[in-house]
Structure 1
Amino acid sequence: MSQPVVHIAHFNLKYHHKPVLQDFSWVVNRNDNWLLCGASGSGKTSLAKAIAGLIPVHSGEININFNPESTLPAMVHYVANWYQFKDLEGASNFYYQQRYNSQVTVTTATVIAELEIYGKEHHLQFNEIQHILNALGFAALKNSPLIQLSSGEHKKLQLVKALWLKPQLLILDQPYNGLDTLSRKNFNGLLEEVSAAGTQLILISNETELPAVINRFAEIREGVLQEISFEDRTLDVVEEIVKPVPAFLSNEVSTTSSHVVKMIDVNISYSGKQVLKNINWEVNSGDKWLLQGYNGSGKSTLLSLIAGDHPQAYSNNFYLFGNKRGTGESIWEIKERIGLISPELHWYFDASATVWQSIASGFYDSSGLFCNPGATKHAQVDELISYFGLTEYKNRLMNELPLGKQRLTLLARTIIKNPEILILDEPCQGLDQQQTQHFNKLVDELCKNGTTLIYVGHFESQLPSCLEKRILLENGEVKSVEPMLQSI
C-alpha cells in the first residue's frame, strides 16, 4: 500500500496565542482531491500554510510523501487568497489611488515580465502557458502593468502561475474570489486537466461550483477535521436574525439632487488602452443597482470615477450629486457622502491599525485613524462593533485577524457615516456563507432609509434582495441596462 501524500498527526496550532487546531489529524491519500470548507477563522488557511511549510510546526507532525515516479515537481504549492505584488525595486507600499497614476506604471512589472521571471525560476516552458491564458481570458493582458490589474485579474495571475507549474500537490485558498461566471467554469476545466496530469488538489472554499475531480469533503469545526458528504457542505448555514440597525444608521438619507450619478459619453484610457467607451448611465437617488461584467470589463474603473479616485473624471461630462466634476468641489467633500468597500481598498488599507481604529477611520475616509473622534463618534464605533460581533477583536490589529474578520471590519467602516451612496464592490470576499447571508440582509435593512446602492457581485446566490436594476459592462461598454430579472 502506497504512503499517503499528506499525513498529519497530533498537530496543534495557535493563531496569535489563541488555539485554532487541537490534536489535529488528517490523511490525504493518493488520488484524493479534497474540498476543505468551514467558518471564517476556523483555521483553514493556517492549516494550508503549515502543509506548504510556510509556518513552523511546533507541536505534532506533518509528513509529505511525494511520488518519486512522477515527472511533476515534488513540491507543495500554496496559492494564497491574498495576492501581494512588488514594484521593480522589491517594495509593495502602494496606495489605493496609485493604479490610476500613469507615472507609476514604469515602476511596476508587466504581466509578461512577471511570467518570464516565474518561468525561468521554475524551468517552465512558455508553449505550455498559452492554453491557460486563453481559458482564463488573460492573454490580452500580457503587456499590462501589475498595478493596473483589477482584483479578479490579479487572482487570475495567481492561478495562471499555479496551473503552469503543475506541482504534485496544489493547495488553492479561495480560488474563485473575484472570478466571473465564465472564468470559474473554465478554471474548473483547467483543474480537471492538471489533476489528470497527476496534480493532487486541496481547495479551500465555501462555493458550490466545483471541478468534477473533487471527491472528498471536510470542514474544520472547533479545531477538528470532520469529513462530510457533498450534500452536507452547504446545509449548516444557520439563518441569523438581523438585529435592528443602530439608531444613528436608521435616519433618512438627505439628498441634494434627484440623481447621484450622471455620465454622458464617458471615455477613459490609460497606457494606450481604452477602458471605458461612451458610457451613459444615470443613477437616481435611492436606486439599487447591480453592476456586473466579466473580469476586465471596466467595472473597477467605472466605480473609481464615482468614488472620486480617478483623475480622468475631470476631463469627462460627468456629474456627481448634481454637480459637474471639476466645478470646485474637493475630493473630501465627495468622499464624505460615499461609503466604499472593494478588494483594492482592502489591499491598500493600513493593516497595523486596530479594529476599533479602522472602523473609526470611516468617519474621515482615511487609512487608519489619526485623530480623536470625540465622544459621540466613539459611542457609535462601539455600537457598530457590537452589531457586527467584533467586540472580542476591537483592540486587535487588523493584520492579526482572519481575512473574514478583516472584511467585516472594513464593512463596518464603510457604513459608519450613514453615507448617501454605498458602493459595495464584491463586499463578501473572504466571508463564509453565514457571514455573507447576514451581511446582505444588513444591506437590505440599511437601504430602507433611502440609501443609494451600487453593488458588484459575481455570484447570483450572494446578493442582497433589495437590488432593482442591473447594468452589464462588456469590453468597457454598456451591454445592457435592465430590471433585475436575468443573470449572467
Structure 2
Amino acid sequence: MQRPKVHIENLNFKYQSNSVFDDLSWTIQKGEQWVLSGISGSGKTTLAKAITGLADYAGKIEINFDNEIQLPAKVSLVESWYQFKNVEGVANFYYQQRYTSQQAKETLTVKAELAHYGKENHLAFADVEPILNALGFAGLKNSQLIELSSGEHKKLQLVKALWLKPQLLIIDQPYTGLDVKSRESLNALLNDVCAEGVSLIIISNDEELPICINRFAKITGGKLEEISALEKAFTNSNYELGEIPEFLKQAPIYSSGLIAKMVDVNISYGEKEVLKNINWEVRAGERWLLQGPNGSGKSTLLSLINGDHPQSYANELYLFGNKRGSGESIWDIKQHIGLISPEFHWYFDANSTVLESVASGLYDSVGLFKTLPYSKKAQVDELINFFGLTENNNDLLNTLPLGKQRLVLLARTIIKNPELLVLDEPCQGLDNQQTAYFNQLIDKVCSNGMTVIYVGHFESQLPSCLEKRMVLENGEVKEISEIKNKNLTLKETIKDFELTI
C-alpha cells in the first residue's frame, strides 16, 4: 500500500491561552494538489509552518518523500511575509531607505541573491532564466533587494521555489501583490512543476487557481474540513457598520484645494528610469484608483506624494499648495496624510500595542512616544471599538494574525481625519469578509469629503467611491480617465481595460 505524501494526526497548537488546532488531521496522497482556505487567524499559516518544521506543535506530522523521482526530498514554504537582510546579515531597515540609492547598496542584487541560493541548493543558473522571463523578472537582476516592491519581493521568492522544485511546495498567499499577467504566468509554472512530481499546497482564498488543483480544504474551529470547491472569493455582501466615530463625520480641514501636482516628473537610478514625464493633478475631495503592473512605478509615485523620495526636490512637484523644497519638512507633509502600504507594514514597530499603533497615527510616528491627552485617548478608543479591536487593545501588534495587524494599521491611517488617504494595496493580508468590511468603511469615511488615492489590482474588491483612474506602465502614464459606468463593478471595468493593454 502506497504511503501518503503527508499524514497529520491529532495536531494541537496553542498560542498563549488560545487553542489554534484541536486534534486536527489531514492526509495528502500522491498526485493531490491542495488549496487551503479559511478566515484570517484560523491557523492556515501556522499549519504551513508546522509542516515545514518552523513551528512547535503537539501531535504527529509525517512526510514521505519519493525516492523514485529526481526532485529534492525537501519541503519548501514561500511565506506571505518575507524579510530580507543586508550584506551584514541584519534586517534593521527603515521605510524611506528603499528610495535612497546610496544606502540601497547595502543589500545584495537579485542576481547575487539567486547565485547564492543556486549554489546552496546545487542548482544550475541557466535553469532559472526561463522562470525569470515568465514572471517578467529578468530585467530586475541588477536591482538591489531593498529597491524591490512588495510584489517584486513576492516574485523573487516564487522564482526560488519554482527553480528548486521541492517534492512538497507550500505557498502562502501566492497571488498577493501580483498583477494580472504575473498571476497567469505563475499558474502556468505551477502546473508545470506539479506535472514533474511536486506536491502543492496553496494557502489562498483566490478563485483564479492553476488547473492542477484537485483538492480543497478549509480550517474552521481548529479542525480541517475538506470541501468540494473553493468558496467564492468575492462577495457583494453589505455588512452592518457601527456608528462612525464623530470626529470622522467632520470634513477634513484642507490647507489647499490642490493636494498634489506633478509637472514632467522624472525619477531615475543611474540609467534606470523609474518614472518618465509624469503629469498628474489631484484636487481636494477626489478619489483616485492608481493601477499598473508590478514594477510600473506606482510605489515610487506615491513616495513623492508622501514626502519620502529624495529626488522630489529635483522635480516640479506641488504638495498641499506648496512647491516641494520651499522650506517644508517631511513631517510638515506627513501631517496631511494617512498612509498604509505593504512596505510600511514591513518596517512598522511590531512591538507596539494595538492602542499605541493606532495612536501613533496622530503624530506620524512609528510607535507612541508621548502620553495621550484625554480627548485624543477617547478618539483612539472610539476608533478601535469601531474596528472591532477593543479586546486586542493591549496586545502587541506582532502577536496578532496578519489580517488583524493590517486592520490596526488601517485604523492608524484615519485616526487624524487626514486630508489625503494613501491606500497602497491596503487589503493585503485580509480575508474576504475583512476586505469587504474595510472597503465599505472607506466608502463611509469618504462621505465627509476626504481625498483618496487607492492602489489595487483589478481582481481585488475595491471601494465604490473611486471616481478617477490613472494607469502606469513602464514608468509612464498609460491613461487618465473617469470611472464612468457605475452599473458595472470596478472589478469588471478595470478587467475590460486591462485586456486592451
How far residue 335 of structure 1 moved from its aligned partner, in angstroms, is 0.5
CA distance in 2, matches of 1:414, 1:461: 20
CA contact (8 A) 2:260 2:321 kept: yes
Distance 1:183 1:272, change over 3 A: same
Deviations 1:254-286 (CA, angstroms, capped at 9, x unpaired): 223222111000001124311100000001111
How far residue 232 of structure 1 moved from its aligned partner, in angstroms, is 3.7
Q: Which moved more, 1:171-180 or 1:321-330?
A: 321-330
Question: Which residue is 1:33 aligned to?
Answer: 33
Percent identity, aligned pairs only, is 63
Aligned: 1:24 with 2:24:
yes
CA contact (8 A) 1:262 1:282 kept: yes
Question: Which residue is 2:98 aligned to?
Answer: 99
CA distance in 2, matches of 1:12, 1:199: 27
How far residue 106 of structure 1 moved from its aligned partner, in angstroms, is 2.1
CA distance in 2, matches of 1:202, 1:11: 18
Count of aligned pairs between the two proteins: 487
Deviations 1:336-381 (CA, angstroms, capped at 9, x unpaired): 1100000000000001111111111000111111111211111111
Distance 1:283 1:113, change over 3 A: same
Query: Partner letter of residue 229 of structure 1?
Result: S
Deviations 1:205-253 (CA, angstroms, capped at 9, x unpaired): 1111110111111111111111112264549996421222111111012
How far residue 310 of structure 1 moved from its aligned partner, in angstroms, is 0.5
Task: Kindly report which structure 2 residues correspond to 1:39-54, keeping only aligned pairs within 5 A, or say none.
Answer: 39-54=39-54
Q: Which moved more, 1:461-470 or 1:250-259?
A: 250-259
CA contact (8 A) 1:79 1:159 kept: yes
Question: Which residue is 2:244 aligned to?
Answer: 245
Question: Which residue is 1:175 aligned to?
Answer: 174
Q: Which runs of 5+ in 2 are unaligned?
A: 485-492
Query: Partner letter of residue 156 of structure 1?
Result: K
How far residue 69 of structure 1 moved from its aligned partner, in angstroms, is 0.8
Aligned: 1:383 with 2:357:
no
Deviations 1:56-76 (CA, angstroms, capped at 9, x unpaired): 23x211111111111101111
User: TM-score, normalization: structure 2?
Assistant: 0.95
- SS of 1:230 mapped into structure 2: coil
CA distance in 1, matches of 2:459, 2:283: 24
How far residue 461 of structure 1 moved from its aligned partner, in angstroms, is 4.1
Question: Which residue is 1:309 aligned to?
Answer: 308
CA contact (8 A) 2:37 2:230 kept: no
Task: Kindly report which structure 2 residues correspond to 1:30-429, keeping only aligned pairs within 5 A, or say none.
Answer: 30-57=30-57, 59-230=58-229, 232-234=231-233, 239-429=238-428
Q: Which moved more, 1:267-276 or 1:119-128?
A: 267-276
Query: Partner letter of residue 330 of structure 2?
Result: I
Distance 1:302 1:236, change over 3 A: closer
CA contact (8 A) 2:245 2:383 kept: yes
Q: CA RMSD in A?
A: 1.3
CA contact (8 A) 1:181 1:458 kept: yes
How far residue 18 of structure 1 moved from its aligned partner, in angstroms, is 1.5
How far residue 466 of structure 1 moved from its aligned partner, in angstroms, is 0.4
CA contact (8 A) 1:343 1:425 kept: yes
How far residue 315 of structure 1 moved from its aligned partner, in angstroms, is 1.1
How far residue 15 of structure 1 moved from its aligned partner, in angstroms, is 2.0
Query: Partner letter of residue 310 of structure 1?
Result: H
CA contact (8 A) 1:112 1:142 kept: yes
Query: Partner letter of residue 347 of structure 1?
Result: W
CA distance in 1, matches of 2:138, 2:404: 34
CA contact (8 A) 1:297 1:473 kept: yes
Distance 1:236 1:250, change over 3 A: closer
How far residue 405 of structure 1 moved from its aligned partner, in angstroms, is 0.6
CA distance in 2, matches of 1:461, 1:178: 10
CA contact (8 A) 1:34 1:218 kept: yes
- SS of 1:332 mapped into structure 2: helix
Distance 1:233 1:469, change over 3 A: closer
- SS of 1:107 mapped into structure 2: coil
Distance 1:238 1:392, change over 3 A: farther
CA contact (8 A) 1:9 1:61 kept: yes
Distance 1:91 1:306, change over 3 A: same
- SS of 1:41 mapped into structure 2: coil
CA distance in 1, matches of 2:236, 2:69: 40
Query: Partner letter of residue 59 of structure 2?
Result: G
Task: Kindly report which structure 2 residues correspond to 1:402-481, keeping only aligned pairs within 5 A, or say none.
Answer: 402-481=401-480
CA contact (8 A) 2:243 2:386 kept: no
Query: Partner letter of residue 37 of structure 1?
Result: S
User: TM-score, normalization: structure 1?
Assistant: 0.98
Deviations 1:101-133 (CA, angstroms, capped at 9, x unpaired): 122122110000000000000001111111110
CA distance in 2, matches of 1:182, 1:379: 46
Q: Which runs of 5+ in 1 are unaligned?
A: none
Question: Which residue is 1:9 aligned to?
Answer: 9
Distance 1:54 1:191, change over 3 A: same
How far residue 159 of structure 1 moved from its aligned partner, in angstroms, is 0.4
Query: Partner letter of residue 247 of structure 1?
Result: E
CA distance in 2, matches of 1:264, 1:122: 48
